Structure 1
Protein backbone atom coordinates (compact mmCIF):
# COMPACT_ATOMS: atom_id res chain seq x y z
CA UNK A 1 0.00 0.00 0.00
CA UNK A 2 1.40 3.31 -1.05
CA UNK A 3 0.75 6.05 1.46
CA UNK A 4 2.01 9.21 -0.18
CA UNK A 5 0.10 12.43 0.04
CA UNK A 6 0.26 14.53 -3.07
CA UNK A 7 0.12 18.24 -3.65
CA UNK A 8 -3.55 17.89 -4.54
CA UNK A 9 -4.29 16.49 -1.06
CA UNK A 10 -2.32 19.26 0.65
CA UNK A 11 -4.26 21.88 -1.30
CA UNK A 12 -7.54 20.17 -0.38
CA UNK A 13 -6.53 20.25 3.30
CA UNK A 14 -5.80 23.97 3.14
CA UNK A 15 -8.96 24.72 1.15
CA UNK A 16 -11.36 22.75 3.35
CA UNK A 17 -9.91 24.06 6.62
CA UNK A 18 -9.96 27.64 5.29
CA UNK A 19 -13.57 27.23 4.13
CA UNK A 20 -14.52 25.85 7.52
CA UNK A 21 -12.88 28.61 9.50
CA UNK A 22 -13.70 31.58 7.29
CA UNK A 23 -17.09 30.74 5.82
CA UNK A 24 -18.85 27.80 7.45
CA UNK A 25 -18.38 29.08 10.99
CA UNK A 26 -20.93 31.79 10.19
CA UNK A 27 -23.27 29.60 8.14
CA UNK A 28 -25.74 27.95 10.54
CA UNK A 29 -29.31 26.84 9.87
CA UNK A 30 -31.71 27.95 12.60
CA UNK A 31 -29.02 27.66 15.29
CA UNK A 32 -29.25 23.90 14.85
CA UNK A 33 -27.72 22.80 11.53
CA UNK A 34 -23.96 23.20 11.22
CA UNK A 35 -21.83 22.52 8.16
CA UNK A 36 -18.53 20.83 8.97
CA UNK A 37 -17.03 20.92 5.49
CA UNK A 38 -13.53 20.12 6.74
CA UNK A 39 -14.45 16.42 6.98
CA UNK A 40 -14.58 16.35 3.16
CA UNK A 41 -10.78 16.29 3.29
CA UNK A 42 -10.90 12.91 5.04
CA UNK A 43 -13.73 11.63 2.86
CA UNK A 44 -11.95 12.44 -0.40
CA UNK A 45 -8.56 10.92 0.48
CA UNK A 46 -7.38 8.02 -1.72
CA UNK A 47 -8.90 4.66 -0.88
CA UNK A 48 -5.53 2.92 -0.51
CA UNK A 49 -4.03 5.40 1.99
CA UNK A 50 -2.00 3.97 4.87
CA UNK A 51 -4.14 3.63 8.02
CA UNK A 52 -1.63 5.29 10.35
CA UNK A 53 -1.30 8.22 7.98
CA UNK A 54 -5.09 8.43 7.78
CA UNK A 55 -5.37 8.55 11.58
CA UNK A 56 -2.66 11.22 11.75
CA UNK A 57 -4.42 13.30 9.09
CA UNK A 58 -7.72 12.89 10.94
CA UNK A 59 -6.10 14.22 14.09
CA UNK A 60 -4.38 17.05 12.19
CA UNK A 61 -7.49 18.34 10.46
CA UNK A 62 -9.62 18.04 13.61
CA UNK A 63 -6.98 19.66 15.82
CA UNK A 64 -6.59 22.53 13.34
CA UNK A 65 -10.33 23.22 13.51
CA UNK A 66 -10.24 22.86 17.32
CA UNK A 67 -7.59 25.56 17.53
CA UNK A 68 -9.79 28.07 15.72
CA UNK A 69 -13.09 27.01 17.31
CA UNK A 70 -11.62 26.68 20.84
CA UNK A 71 -13.36 23.32 21.31
CA UNK A 72 -10.68 21.50 23.31
CA UNK A 73 -10.22 18.43 21.11
CA UNK A 74 -13.82 17.63 20.22
CA UNK A 75 -13.24 17.89 16.46
CA UNK A 76 -9.93 16.04 16.72
CA UNK A 77 -11.58 13.14 18.55
CA UNK A 78 -14.49 12.97 16.11
CA UNK A 79 -12.16 13.16 13.10
CA UNK A 80 -9.90 10.41 14.42
CA UNK A 81 -12.96 8.23 15.05
CA UNK A 82 -14.12 8.87 11.49
CA UNK A 83 -10.64 8.12 10.12
CA UNK A 84 -10.52 4.91 12.16
CA UNK A 85 -13.87 3.68 10.87
CA UNK A 86 -13.35 4.76 7.24
CA UNK A 87 -11.36 1.64 6.16
CA UNK A 88 -13.95 -0.61 7.82
CA UNK A 89 -16.76 1.08 5.92
CA UNK A 90 -14.78 0.91 2.69
CA UNK A 91 -14.43 -2.85 3.23
CA UNK A 92 -18.19 -3.15 3.72
CA UNK A 93 -18.89 -1.15 0.57
CA UNK A 94 -16.30 -2.89 -1.61
CA UNK A 95 -17.62 -3.45 -5.13
CA UNK A 96 -17.74 -7.01 -6.47
CA UNK A 97 -14.61 -6.41 -8.56
CA UNK A 98 -12.80 -4.62 -5.74
CA UNK A 99 -11.22 -1.20 -5.83
CA UNK A 100 -8.61 -0.14 -8.36
CA UNK A 101 -5.28 0.81 -6.84
CA UNK A 102 -5.75 4.31 -8.31
CA UNK A 103 -9.36 4.79 -7.10
CA UNK A 104 -10.26 7.84 -5.16
CA UNK A 105 -13.57 8.68 -3.59
CA UNK A 106 -15.51 10.31 -6.39
CA UNK A 107 -19.25 10.33 -7.00
CA UNK A 108 -18.67 9.92 -10.75
CA UNK A 109 -16.37 6.90 -10.45
CA UNK A 110 -18.03 5.07 -7.59
CA UNK A 111 -21.68 5.80 -8.35
CA UNK A 112 -24.30 7.81 -6.52
CA UNK A 113 -25.57 5.02 -4.27
CA UNK A 114 -22.09 4.03 -3.11
CA UNK A 115 -21.08 7.65 -2.57
CA UNK A 116 -24.21 8.52 -0.58
CA UNK A 117 -23.90 5.44 1.65
CA UNK A 118 -20.21 6.15 2.27
CA UNK A 119 -20.61 9.87 2.87
CA UNK A 120 -23.71 9.91 5.03
CA UNK A 121 -22.57 6.99 7.22
CA UNK A 122 -19.25 8.66 8.03
CA UNK A 123 -20.91 12.06 8.48
CA UNK A 124 -23.40 10.55 10.92
CA UNK A 125 -20.58 9.00 12.95
CA UNK A 126 -18.54 12.22 12.95
CA UNK A 127 -21.41 14.55 13.80
CA UNK A 128 -22.78 12.27 16.53
CA UNK A 129 -19.34 12.23 18.13
CA UNK A 130 -19.01 16.02 17.89
CA UNK A 131 -22.41 16.83 19.38
CA UNK A 132 -22.40 14.18 22.11
CA UNK A 133 -18.86 15.14 23.15
CA UNK A 134 -19.93 18.77 23.15
CA UNK A 135 -22.91 18.02 25.38
CA UNK A 136 -21.13 15.37 27.55
CA UNK A 137 -24.45 14.13 28.81
CA UNK A 138 -27.65 12.68 27.52
CA UNK A 139 -29.73 15.60 28.76
CA UNK A 140 -31.92 16.97 26.02
CA UNK A 141 -31.17 14.05 23.70
CA UNK A 142 -33.88 15.10 21.23
CA UNK A 143 -32.24 18.49 20.67
CA UNK A 144 -28.87 16.79 20.17
CA UNK A 145 -30.36 14.29 17.71
CA UNK A 146 -32.01 17.12 15.81
CA UNK A 147 -28.64 18.92 15.59
CA UNK A 148 -27.01 15.71 14.32
CA UNK A 149 -29.63 15.05 11.65
CA UNK A 150 -29.79 18.64 10.35
CA UNK A 151 -26.01 18.98 10.38
CA UNK A 152 -25.50 15.68 8.55
CA UNK A 153 -28.00 16.73 5.89
CA UNK A 154 -26.49 20.21 5.58
CA UNK A 155 -22.91 18.97 5.37
CA UNK A 156 -23.89 16.10 3.04
CA UNK A 157 -25.64 18.40 0.57
CA UNK A 158 -22.66 20.76 0.50
CA UNK A 159 -20.27 17.84 -0.07
CA UNK A 160 -22.41 16.49 -2.92
CA UNK A 161 -22.49 19.94 -4.52
CA UNK A 162 -18.68 20.16 -4.21
CA UNK A 163 -18.31 16.74 -5.81
CA UNK A 164 -20.59 17.61 -8.70
CA UNK A 165 -18.99 21.01 -9.31
CA UNK A 166 -15.29 20.37 -8.83
CA UNK A 167 -14.55 16.69 -9.39
CA UNK A 168 -14.14 15.43 -12.91
CA UNK A 169 -16.96 13.27 -14.30
CA UNK A 170 -14.58 11.75 -16.84
CA UNK A 171 -13.85 8.08 -16.34
CA UNK A 172 -10.47 6.76 -17.21
CA UNK A 173 -10.78 4.59 -20.29
CA UNK A 174 -8.89 1.34 -20.36
CA UNK A 175 -7.77 -0.43 -23.49
Structure 2
Protein backbone atom coordinates (compact mmCIF):
# COMPACT_ATOMS: atom_id res chain seq x y z
CA UNK A 1 0.00 0.00 0.00
CA UNK A 2 1.29 3.42 -0.87
CA UNK A 3 0.85 6.53 1.25
CA UNK A 4 -2.10 7.81 -0.82
CA UNK A 5 -4.10 4.63 -0.28
CA UNK A 6 -3.25 4.66 3.44
CA UNK A 7 -4.56 8.22 3.72
CA UNK A 8 -7.66 7.23 1.73
CA UNK A 9 -8.34 4.34 4.14
CA UNK A 10 -7.86 6.58 7.18
CA UNK A 11 -10.37 9.04 5.71
CA UNK A 12 -12.78 6.16 5.02
CA UNK A 13 -12.41 4.97 8.62
CA UNK A 14 -13.20 8.41 10.00
CA UNK A 15 -16.06 8.95 7.54
CA UNK A 16 -17.77 5.60 8.13
CA UNK A 17 -17.48 5.76 11.91
CA UNK A 18 -18.72 9.36 11.94
CA UNK A 19 -21.66 8.46 9.70
CA UNK A 20 -22.49 5.53 11.96
CA UNK A 21 -22.38 7.56 15.14
CA UNK A 22 -23.95 10.79 13.92
CA UNK A 23 -26.48 9.66 11.31
CA UNK A 24 -27.17 5.94 11.23
CA UNK A 25 -27.52 5.62 15.00
CA UNK A 26 -30.87 7.36 14.72
CA UNK A 27 -31.93 5.92 11.35
CA UNK A 28 -33.94 2.75 12.01
CA UNK A 29 -36.47 1.03 9.74
CA UNK A 30 -39.68 -0.05 11.49
CA UNK A 31 -37.85 -0.28 14.85
CA UNK A 32 -36.10 -3.44 13.63
CA UNK A 33 -33.83 -2.59 10.67
CA UNK A 34 -30.51 -1.07 11.69
CA UNK A 35 -27.78 0.11 9.35
CA UNK A 36 -24.24 -0.61 10.52
CA UNK A 37 -22.41 1.32 7.83
CA UNK A 38 -19.08 1.22 9.68
CA UNK A 39 -18.48 -2.33 8.42
CA UNK A 40 -18.14 -0.89 4.90
CA UNK A 41 -14.67 0.18 6.02
CA UNK A 42 -13.72 -3.50 6.45
CA UNK A 43 -15.53 -4.59 3.31
CA UNK A 44 -13.79 -2.03 1.08
CA UNK A 45 -10.22 -2.76 2.23
CA UNK A 46 -7.76 -4.23 -0.31
CA UNK A 47 -8.12 -7.95 -0.91
CA UNK A 48 -4.46 -8.76 -0.23
CA UNK A 49 -4.29 -6.96 3.15
CA UNK A 50 -2.31 -8.62 5.94
CA UNK A 51 -4.62 -10.81 8.04
CA UNK A 52 -3.26 -9.58 11.37
CA UNK A 53 -3.69 -5.97 10.28
CA UNK A 54 -7.22 -6.79 9.14
CA UNK A 55 -8.09 -8.28 12.54
CA UNK A 56 -6.59 -5.25 14.28
CA UNK A 57 -8.56 -2.85 12.08
CA UNK A 58 -11.71 -4.88 12.73
CA UNK A 59 -11.17 -4.54 16.46
CA UNK A 60 -10.42 -0.81 16.24
CA UNK A 61 -13.49 0.04 14.15
CA UNK A 62 -15.78 -2.11 16.31
CA UNK A 63 -14.32 -0.81 19.56
CA UNK A 64 -14.73 2.79 18.38
CA UNK A 65 -18.42 2.18 17.69
CA UNK A 66 -18.75 0.37 21.05
CA UNK A 67 -17.40 3.42 22.86
CA UNK A 68 -20.12 5.64 21.42
CA UNK A 69 -22.93 3.05 21.57
CA UNK A 70 -22.00 1.84 25.07
CA UNK A 71 -22.37 -1.79 23.97
CA UNK A 72 -19.48 -3.36 25.92
CA UNK A 73 -17.61 -5.00 23.04
CA UNK A 74 -20.46 -6.40 20.96
CA UNK A 75 -19.49 -4.46 17.83
CA UNK A 76 -15.81 -5.17 18.38
CA UNK A 77 -16.48 -8.91 18.59
CA UNK A 78 -18.71 -8.89 15.51
CA UNK A 79 -16.20 -6.80 13.54
CA UNK A 80 -13.32 -9.09 14.46
CA UNK A 81 -15.44 -12.06 13.37
CA UNK A 82 -16.12 -10.32 10.04
CA UNK A 83 -12.40 -9.57 9.64
CA UNK A 84 -11.51 -13.17 10.50
CA UNK A 85 -13.96 -14.66 7.98
CA UNK A 86 -13.26 -12.17 5.18
CA UNK A 87 -10.18 -13.97 3.75
CA UNK A 88 -12.06 -17.28 3.71
CA UNK A 89 -15.02 -15.74 1.89
CA UNK A 90 -12.63 -14.12 -0.58
CA UNK A 91 -11.00 -17.51 -1.19
CA UNK A 92 -14.41 -19.06 -1.82
CA UNK A 93 -15.27 -16.34 -4.34
CA UNK A 94 -11.89 -16.20 -6.11
CA UNK A 95 -12.36 -15.56 -9.84
CA UNK A 96 -10.89 -18.00 -12.35
CA UNK A 97 -7.95 -15.67 -13.04
CA UNK A 98 -7.39 -14.89 -9.35
CA UNK A 99 -7.09 -11.49 -7.77
CA UNK A 100 -4.62 -8.78 -8.75
CA UNK A 101 -2.36 -7.56 -5.98
CA UNK A 102 -3.95 -4.09 -6.00
CA UNK A 103 -7.58 -5.25 -6.19
CA UNK A 104 -10.06 -4.13 -3.60
CA UNK A 105 -13.58 -5.36 -3.06
CA UNK A 106 -15.15 -3.06 -5.61
CA UNK A 107 -18.47 -3.40 -7.39
CA UNK A 108 -17.07 -1.98 -10.64
CA UNK A 109 -14.02 -4.24 -10.72
CA UNK A 110 -15.52 -7.53 -9.54
CA UNK A 111 -19.06 -7.23 -10.87
CA UNK A 112 -22.50 -7.21 -9.31
CA UNK A 113 -22.93 -10.89 -8.47
CA UNK A 114 -19.46 -11.25 -6.94
CA UNK A 115 -19.79 -8.09 -4.85
CA UNK A 116 -23.35 -8.81 -3.66
CA UNK A 117 -22.42 -12.36 -2.66
CA UNK A 118 -19.29 -11.19 -0.85
CA UNK A 119 -20.97 -8.29 0.93
CA UNK A 120 -24.19 -10.05 1.90
CA UNK A 121 -22.43 -13.09 3.39
CA UNK A 122 -20.22 -10.91 5.56
CA UNK A 123 -23.03 -8.52 6.48
CA UNK A 124 -25.27 -11.41 7.57
CA UNK A 125 -22.46 -12.88 9.70
CA UNK A 126 -21.74 -9.51 11.30
CA UNK A 127 -25.37 -8.70 12.02
CA UNK A 128 -26.10 -12.18 13.37
CA UNK A 129 -23.15 -11.81 15.74
CA UNK A 130 -24.28 -8.37 16.89
CA UNK A 131 -27.89 -9.31 17.53
CA UNK A 132 -27.24 -12.72 19.07
CA UNK A 133 -24.53 -11.30 21.35
CA UNK A 134 -26.94 -8.56 22.32
CA UNK A 135 -29.75 -10.91 23.32
CA UNK A 136 -27.77 -14.12 24.13
CA UNK A 137 -30.84 -16.30 23.48
CA UNK A 138 -32.64 -17.34 20.32
CA UNK A 139 -35.80 -15.47 19.42
CA UNK A 140 -37.57 -15.39 16.08
CA UNK A 141 -37.70 -11.61 16.23
CA UNK A 142 -33.91 -11.61 16.15
CA UNK A 143 -33.98 -13.31 12.75
CA UNK A 144 -36.29 -10.57 11.47
CA UNK A 145 -33.88 -7.94 12.81
CA UNK A 146 -30.96 -9.69 11.11
CA UNK A 147 -32.81 -9.91 7.79
CA UNK A 148 -34.06 -6.30 7.73
CA UNK A 149 -30.75 -4.93 8.98
CA UNK A 150 -28.82 -6.94 6.38
CA UNK A 151 -31.01 -5.61 3.59
CA UNK A 152 -30.76 -2.04 4.89
CA UNK A 153 -26.99 -2.17 5.30
CA UNK A 154 -26.53 -3.98 1.98
CA UNK A 155 -28.49 -1.35 0.06
CA UNK A 156 -26.51 1.47 1.69
CA UNK A 157 -23.19 -0.29 0.96
CA UNK A 158 -24.14 -0.69 -2.72
CA UNK A 159 -25.20 2.95 -2.89
CA UNK A 160 -21.84 3.97 -1.41
CA UNK A 161 -20.04 1.85 -3.99
CA UNK A 162 -22.00 3.45 -6.83
CA UNK A 163 -21.54 7.00 -5.54
CA UNK A 164 -17.96 7.07 -4.30
CA UNK A 165 -16.10 4.36 -6.20
CA UNK A 166 -16.01 5.51 -9.78
CA UNK A 167 -15.68 3.27 -12.81
CA UNK A 168 -12.63 5.25 -14.00
CA UNK A 169 -10.77 4.60 -10.77
CA UNK A 170 -11.69 0.93 -10.89
CA UNK A 171 -10.21 0.42 -14.38
CA UNK A 172 -6.78 1.74 -13.40
> SS state of the match for residue 97, structure 1?
coil
Q: Which moved more, 1:129-138 or 1:3-12?
A: 3-12
Instruction: Report 1:41-120 matches (<5 A).
Output: 41-120=41-120
In the alignment, what sits opposite 1:172?
Answer: 171
**Matched positions, count:** 170
1:94-122 deviation line (CA, Å, top 9, x unaligned): 00000000101110000000000000000
Cα distance in structure 2, aligned partners of 1:83 and 1:3: 22
TM-score in terms of structure 2 length: 0.96
Q: 2:151 aligns with which of 142, 147, 153?
A: 153
- Is 151-160 or 4-13 further displaced after alignment? 4-13
The whole-number CA distance in structure 2 between the counterparts of 1:3 and 1:151 is 35
Which runs of at least 4 in structure 1 moved beyond 3 Å after TM superposition?
A: 2-5
CA shift digits 1:24-59 (9 cap, x unpaired): 000000110000000000000000000000000000
Equivalent in the alignment of 2:141: 143
DSSP 3-state at the match of 2:167: coil
CA distance in 1, matches of 2:101, 2:2: 12
Alpha-carbon distance, 1:168 to partner? 1.1
Q: Deviations over 1:97-155 (max 9, x none)?
A: 000001011100000000000000000000000000000112xx210000000000000
Q: Secondary structure at the match of 2:102?
A: coil
Q: How far off is 1:3 after superposition? A: 9.7
